[in-house]
C-alpha cells in the first residue's frame, strides 16, 4: 500500500514558513503584496481567486483584487497591468486564466513585468527554467517538487515520466526533474505504446485531464505517482487522472485527489510572492 503524499499537510507547513517570512519582511521592509486580476464571471475562476485571497490574508500577505467585467477590452486590461507594474508596493501580479473570448492571454502574460510574474508564465521566466537559473517556478510543478522533497523521494538518476506537455505543467515539470538529474520522458497524445514508458517510470506525473486514465497495469511496482488531474464526475465527486484505488496497491507513494497537488499550487504562489518581495528589497538596498 502506497504512502499518501498529503498535500494539505505539506502546504500547511509551507504556509507557516511563508507567514514567518511575511512577518519578518513586514517588520524589516514592508508587507509583501500580491495583485490578482479577474476578468469576467467564470465560477471556477472566482473560487480560485477567493481561495488565493484567503490564503494571502492568512499568511500576512497584502492581497489586491481587481474584478473587471467580461466585456473589458485589451487596452483597459493592459493599462491595469502597467499600473501594477509601476506600483513599487506591488510584488506579484497574477491574471487569472482563462480570459473571456476576445482577450489575448499571450499579450497579458507578456505585459506583466517578469520580476512580478509570480505565475512564472512570462517567456523570460520560462527561459530561465530551461537554463536552471530561475527565480520563480510555475506553481504546480514547484508544488510537486516540494512534495517529492518533503517525502524524501530522490529524483537523481531516476526514470521520470511526465504525461502531458502543457506549458503550465508538463513542460516545466520535465525541466525541474531534469534540473535535479532525473532521466526524463515527456509523453503525450501522439506517444506510441504509452504503457511501455509509464511501466518503466520510477516517478510518474499524470497531467492529462482524463479521469482515471492511468491504470494499475501502467504503473511500476514501487513508483512515486503524482496525479495533477482534477476531474468532476457525473455524480459530482472529484477524481484525478490516476485510478487511485488500484494504483495505490502498487505504488510506493501516491498523491490523492483532492488533497494532493491542488493545495500545493497556492502554497507555492505565496512562496513566489515572498521571493518577489525579497528581490525588490535587495534591489532597493
Over residues 110-138, the pLDDT tens digits come to 999 999 999 999 999 999 999 888 888 99
Tell me, yes or no, if 96 is annotated catalytic: yes
pLDDT for 285: 81
d(CA 247, CA 2): 8
Determine the pLDDT at residue 132.
87
Query: How high is the pLDDT of residue 232?
Result: 87
Q: What is the pLDDT of residues 225-243, one digit of tens each?
A: 999 998 888 888 889 999 9
pLDDT, residue 236, reads 82
Nearest-10 crossing angle of helices 170-179, 123-131? 30
Task: Say which DSSP state 190 is in.
Answer: T
Catalytic residue among 91, 117, 119, 227: 119
Average of per-residue pLDDT across 133-157: 95
Question: Is 52 a catalytic site residue?
Answer: yes
pLDDT value at position 26? 98
Q: How confident is the model at residue 210 (pLDDT cuts 50, 70, 90)?
A: very high
- Spatial separation of the C-alpha atoms in residues 237 and 275, rounded to whole Å: 36
What pLDDT was estimated at residue 87? 98
Give, as one character, the DSSP assignment of residue 117. Answer: B
Enumerate residues 6+ apart whose C-beta is below 8 A from 66.
Answer: 35, 36, 37, 38, 80
Helices (H), the chain: 7-28, 43-59, 74-86, 105-111, 123-131, 139-150, 170-179, 194-198, 244-247, 261-284
Task: Tell me, yes or no, if 87 is annotated catalytic.
Answer: no
The proportion of the chain whose per-residue pLDDT surpasses 70, expressed as a percent, equals 100
pTM: 0.94
Local confidence band at 214 (pLDDT 50, 70, 90 cut-offs): very high
Residue 68: which H helix or E strand, with range? strand 62-68
Residue 199, pLDDT score: 98
What is the pLDDT averaged over residues 84-99?
97
- Digit-coded pLDDT (tens) for 21-78: 999 999 999 999 999 999 999 988 999 999 999 999 999 999 999 999 999 999 999 9
Average pLDDT over residues 11-15: 98
Q: Are 278 and 25 in contact (CB under 8 A)?
A: yes
Domains of the chain: 30-113 (3.40.50.10860), 139-262 (3.40.50.720)
Catalytic pick among 52, 171, 220, 250: 52
Amino acid at each position: 500500500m502506497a504512502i499518501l503524499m498529503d498535500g494539505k499537510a505539506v502546504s500547511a507547513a509551507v504556509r507557516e514558513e511563508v507567514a514567518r517570512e511575511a512577518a519578518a519582511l513586514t517588520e524589516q521592509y514592508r508587507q509583501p503584496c500580491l495583485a490578482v486580476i479577474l476578468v469576467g464571471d467564470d465560477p471556477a475562476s472566482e473560487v480560485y481567486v477567493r481561495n488565493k485571497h484567503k490564503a494571502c490574508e492568512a499568511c500576512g500577505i497584502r492581497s489586491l483584487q481587481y474584478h473587471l467585467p467580461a466585456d473589458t477590452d485589451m487596452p483597459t486590461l493592459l493599462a491595469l497591468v502597467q499600473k501594477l507594474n509601476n506600483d513599487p508596493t506591488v510584488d506579484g501580479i497574477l491574471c487569472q486564466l482563462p480570459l473571456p473570448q476576445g482577450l489575448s492571454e499571450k499579450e497579458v502574460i507578456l505585459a506583466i513585468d517578469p520580476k512580478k510574474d509570480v505565475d512564472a508564465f512570462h517567456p523570460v521566466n520560462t527561459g530561465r527554467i530551461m537554463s536552471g537559473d530561475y527565480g520563480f517556478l510555475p506553481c504546480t510543478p514547484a508544488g510537486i517538487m516540494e512534495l517529492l522533497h518533503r517525502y524524501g523521494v530522490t529524483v537523481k538518476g531516476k526514470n521520470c515520466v511526465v504525461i502531458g506537455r502543457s506549458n503550465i505543467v508538463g513542460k516545466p515539470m520535465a525541466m525541474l526533474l531534469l534540473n535535479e538529474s532525473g532521466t526524463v520522458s515527456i509523453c503525450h497524445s501522439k506517444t506510441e505504446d504509452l504503457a511501455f514508458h509509464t511501466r518503466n517510470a520510477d516517478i510518474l506525473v499524470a497531467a492529462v485531464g482524463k479521469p482515471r486514465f492511468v491504470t494499475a497495469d501502467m504503473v511500476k511496482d514501487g513508483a512515486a505517482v503524482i496525479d495533477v488531474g482534477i476531474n468532476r464526475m457525473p455524480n459530482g465527486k472529484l477524481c484525478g487522472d490516476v485510478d487511485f484505488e488500484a494504483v495505490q496497491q502498487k505504488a510506493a507513494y501516491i498523491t490523492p485527489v483532492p488533497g494532493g497537488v491542488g493545495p500545493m499550487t497556492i502554497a507555492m504562489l505565496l512562496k513566489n510572492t515572498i521571493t518577489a518581495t525579497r528581490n525588490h528589497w535587495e534591489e532597493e538596498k
